[in-house]
Amino acid sequence: MLIGGEWIEAGGRSTFPTYDPATGKVLAELVEATPEDVDAAVRAATEAFGAWADLLPAARARLLLRVADLVEQHADELARLETTDQGQPLAISGGFSVPMVVNQFRYHAGWATKLTGITVDVSVPDVDYRTRREPLGVCGLITPWNFPLMLLSFKLAPALATGNTVVIKPAEQTSLTTIRLAELCLEAGIPAGVVNVVTGGGTVGKALVDHRGVAKISFTGSTEVGREIGAAAGRALKRVSLELGGKAPSVVAADADIDAAVAGNLMGGLLNSGQVCAAYTRFYVARPRAEEFVDKLAAGAGSQVLGHGLDSSTQLGPLVSAEQVSQVDRYVQIGRDEGATLVTGGSPADGDGFFYRPTVFTDVTDSMRIAREEIFGPVLSVIPYEDEDELDLVARANDTEYGLAAVIWSGDVKVANRLARRIRAGSVYINMPPLLDAAAAWGGVKASGLGRENGWDAIEAFTEVKSIWTAL
């Protein structure tokens, strides 16, 4: 743990293991933070806040750029550590996750010098009125286990750029790259206490959420936990951002390029072994193309090479834990029991580690649990639809508690954009897999969360507006 610039050893505290999910072997023992540790971290962040918020914006920007440079210099080390601790193939950690961290810090470093207020000609005589945008204070950043380093940067970079201090609680399954990034923040010259890290399970996160010294909680994780955090933040009247679960529909129109749709859906559905909140998981395919789509999707899924993420031939890494394997397998059995037809996969892979075979179901209906509930694994469900009934299609795509992402595959840009406007989701992609950018707002509607990350939305999420009135 990192508290006030000091690394905290276990001492008399409990510890917990973190595993290589590809082998099941223990990588390290980490400290389980106590409530007193959380309090100390919040106090350290509070003490550091004034000087950090008052630092010249250009100086803050230079420090964030230095962090970006250090991440880039240590990119291979960070990617290998992420792969070993989380399981994602090196092509993802090194080709997507770590570069996104670099981009996040460079992008938000630019915002540090561009925060502005406004002046308004108010209808009060002899008064000058203006606003200024100010940091919130101490922010609690609670991150998930699926993209631990990248999704931390979505929160950490804008929080620091806008003058906040932070206490980070990484997922207990995947804390190693968070600890390493905190080391790089200190090496970059970010002052002690500005970035703090407390490790452990749900009780540590709850202590952070409930702490009266925390002005904002930014959480990415399950909808179930997000609801609890949102309720607690509401009672305390503290700011909260929630990026939660999803059950993204993928609409494949009759005029779609099926080969492109299959390739894009395999990437969108099996990225990180399906452990993606925006994963394409329920495929509404125009009935005339459904059989062709299922055959090609199953062939592509069944040919995926499973293995350790450090092996360059690996296309699909492990699930994060044995518990996640059990959850995925339970949903596959539910799909069978409810009458869906298993086309390929449907079982854990043999050997060490937490692997699950990519699974494709057909003959799926909207009411089945595999079509409604977030599985967070490599399970793809194909649901045919009648191509001429567009309104019914939209209603079916929207018939979910989630609303994080959706995709439309069509050769008709008018139809695709018409559907995109009607589908209830925070992000809708047309003829492409679910990509992200530091400048593009990211977040969901309905049970997929509150607020947005990235772009100007992230700056607003970590600041508040103050009005200043001056008598003339």
Q: Which residues participate in catalysis according to the annotation?
A: 243, 277
Tokens of 155: 């929160």
Give 235-301 as a DSSP string. HHT-EEEEE----EEEEE-TTS-HHHHHHHHHHHHHGGGG--TT-EEEEEEEHHHHHHHHHHHHHHH
Q: Which amino acid is at 394?
A: V
What whole-number distance in Å separates Cα of residue 365 and Cα of residue 245? 21
433 close to 260: Cβ distance less than 8 angstroms: no
Could you give the maximum distance between any two Cα atoms of the chain, in Å?
Answer: 78
27 close to 15: Cβ distance less than 8 angstroms: no
197 close to 30: Cβ distance less than 8 angstroms: no
Return the SS3 of 188. Answer: helix
83 close to 310: Cβ distance less than 8 angstroms: yes
Tokens of 315: 């296309």
Look at strands 119-120 and 25-31 and give their pairing: unpaired
CA angle 329, 375, 419 (to 5 degrees): 140
What whole-number distance in Å separates Cα of residue 12 and Cα of residue 447? 40
349 close to 342: Cβ distance less than 8 angstroms: no
Q: Is 443 left (phi over 0), alpha (psi -120 to 50) or beta?
A: left
> In DSSP terms, which residues pair with 252 in a beta bridge?
285, 409
CA angle 72, 198, 156 (to 5 degrees): 40
